Every structure is written in structure tokens, then in C-alpha cells.
Structure 1
């Protein structure tokens, strides 16, 4: 891929060649982000496409850094756009994320993890997160995985900060209970 600064400048100039380069290079990254919120593949792909349209329509607002930093800045900006588009889609279409099934691989299991037990624990944790009720899972993903503050999450989801905090607490409690239950079941098998 060409120098990212030149590609971004080409996108600012509405050059379709550069837009295609960004889309093809970062589509997988965007899909991983969206899959944490929308589990139906077709809906997730639509959200990614909407996100890229939004990105290209507003790329003139992108604040460039140094050549070395531009990719990180772009990825952070893209991540925020994809999360917002996902939340908007869930809100507007009342999409039920629980109804689809996606492979755990989209959650980004570290490739250096060759330990089978660690991979099983990771997969179990991903499944437990996917089983959380939608409001709890959204807040959990936004806070724990994506690193947003309670105030930012409350603004995104149009809920009070106190609701955001209680949803996170309930999500953590449910995950702890499920982990304890899984651990007890494993001990009983031994």
C-alpha cells in the first residue's frame, strides 16, 4: 500500500482510487469492530459500508498528524465512526444482535496463543459476552473493550450516566456468575 498520508490526501480530493484502497485495506478491521455490536452478517456489512460512506463524506475534517501517526489516527477515527454507525443501526432498526452467529475469530484471538486451554477460555468468554442482554453488552463493549468513558457512552446511547454505570456493573456481575458456573462445572468433571 502507498504512503497513508498520500492516500488520505487522495480521499480528501474525492479520488475513488484512494477511497477503494482505504476500503479494501481496512474493511476487515471495520468488520471486526461492527461484529462486536451487530451479529447478523448482512446487517454488519451494511453498517460497515455506511461507515465508510460517512468516513469518505467527512474525511475533509480529518486532522492529519505526522506520516508515522496518520495510520493510527485514521484507525482511531474509523473505529469511532464504525461504533457510532453500529449503535445508530441497532437503535433505528431495533436489530437484535443475539439472533446471528459469528465466529469467535472476529473478536481477534491473539495469533500467538497456541495454548489450547487459553483459546478455549477465550472462546468461552466471547460466548458469554455475546449472551449478555443487549444494553449490558453494548455498555460492556464500549467501556471495557473500546475504552470509552461512562459520559461518552451515555451520550452515544442516549441514557443517563447512572444507567451506564449500572449496566456495566450488571454485565460484570453476570459474566462473573457465568465464569463461576463454568469453573464449577469443570471441577465437577474432574
Structure 2
């Protein structure tokens, strides 16, 4: 990993290609949580990698015990910021589109398959949130930003960030409760 990153700093195209191909899927999934138009995501991911390659000299975690984990955290922040910039350019307009099932990894392990199914269901429900709620929810719950960071990134107050998170959670709870009631109703109906 260290050699690949050093090669990228030297603008070695082979190293850049290796890094890009290795982490493209990771970046894609992160951006897709913010931008639900499948056709727009690759452009945003590519913009994120351009920013990464330009700013790699500022990456300051070379001596960390887990270089790859530190790098992934840094990459995650870059692609999230790139996605947020895109949302800002569009005034947080809702992104409409379906989740393309081919982007999810296939697994034969039942526990992993169950986890993947729950993740897909959660993302499907998160996509129904209004854009401002969805962005704050993604940043706080999924990506681990605190309200101060969210406020700074989105140009909103900390109170607005907290309010949007509260409303997003309430909205999701309502959606999930409604869905659970519908499934329970269908199950009872089938048993009769």
C-alpha cells in the first residue's frame, strides 16, 4: 500500500490505476448513498479520485499502524465532500432513480447475505427521505460525522443538523413501522 501511494504522489499512472481500480467500488457505494442517479455516480467518483490524486501529498497518516484503514477514511471523506458539492450545485434537489441491483456484491454466506439484504432495505428506505434529511442522516448515522462537521459542510446551523437528523429518524421509523405492519398483515392474511 505504501509503495502504491508513493507512486501516486510521483504521478505514476500504473500506481494510480491500481489504486483507482482497487477502491473504485468502495467509493461508488459511498457516493451512491448521497446521489441516487446511477448514471451520475461514476462522474462524481472520478471527480473524487482527481481530488485525491491532487491532494495525496497532504495525506498525513503514513506512519499509522493501519495505513489502509487511514487511507480509506481519508478517501471516504473526499468522496462524501465531492457528493455534497454536487448536491449543493443542484440545491439539494432530490435524486430520483432505482438502486441497480448489479452493484451489490453477491455472497453465498447466509449471515452475509442477510446483512446485505438488510443494508439494501435500509438504503432503499433512506432514499425515500427528503434530500436535506437524507444528507444529514447519511453523514451522521452512516458516515460518522458529528453535527458540528455536518453544519460546516452543508452551511447550516448545528440546530438544523440535529433537527434534520431527528426528523429523518422519525420519518424512517414511520416508514419501517408501516412496512412491518403491512408484512404482518400479509402474513396473517395468508395464514387464514
Shorter-chain TM-score: what band? Answer: 0.7 to 0.9
Report deviation, 1:101: 1.6
Matches within 5 A, 1:143-182: 143-182=140-179
Matches within 5 A, 1:35-54: 35-54=32-51
Matched, 1:130 2:127: yes
Report deviation, 1:102: 1.8
Report deviation, 1:60: 0.6
Q: How many residues align?
A: 187
Distance 2:100 2:10 in 1: 37
Q: Secondary structure at the match of 1:137?
A: helix
Report deviation, 1:188: 1.7
Q: Secondary structure at the match of 1:42?
A: coil
Instruction: Give unpaired runs (5+ residues) of structure 2.
Output: none
Partner of 1:72: 69
Report deviation, 1:32: 0.5
Q: Secondary structure at the match of 1:136?
A: helix
Q: How far does the alpha carbon of each residue in 1:64-85 deviate from its partner, in whole angstroms, 9 at most, with x for none?
A: 4347511111111000000000
Partner of 1:183: 180
* Closer, same or farther: CA 36–179 of 1 in aligned 2, 3 Å: same
Instruction: Give unpaired runs (5+ residues) of structure 1.
Output: none
Aligned-pair Cα RMSD in Å = 2.5
* Closer, same or farther: CA 97–105 of 1 in aligned 2, 3 Å: farther
Distance 1:111 1:94 in 2: 41
Q: TM-score, normalised by structure 2?
A: 0.87
The one of 53, 59, 62 aligned to 1:56: 53
Distance 1:71 1:187 in 2: 44
Report deviation, 1:98: 3.2
Report deviation, 1:34: 0.4
Q: How far does the alpha carbon of each residue in 1:130-178 deviate from its partner, in whole angstroms, 9 at most, with x for none?
A: 1000000100010000010000011111100000000000000011111
Report deviation, 1:16: 1.2
* Closer, same or farther: CA 19–116 of 1 in aligned 2, 3 Å: closer
Q: How far does the alpha carbon of each residue in 1:66-119 deviate from its partner, in whole angstroms, 9 at most, with x for none?
A: 475111111110000000000001111346443122236757798744598776
Q: Secondary structure at the match of 1:131?
A: coil
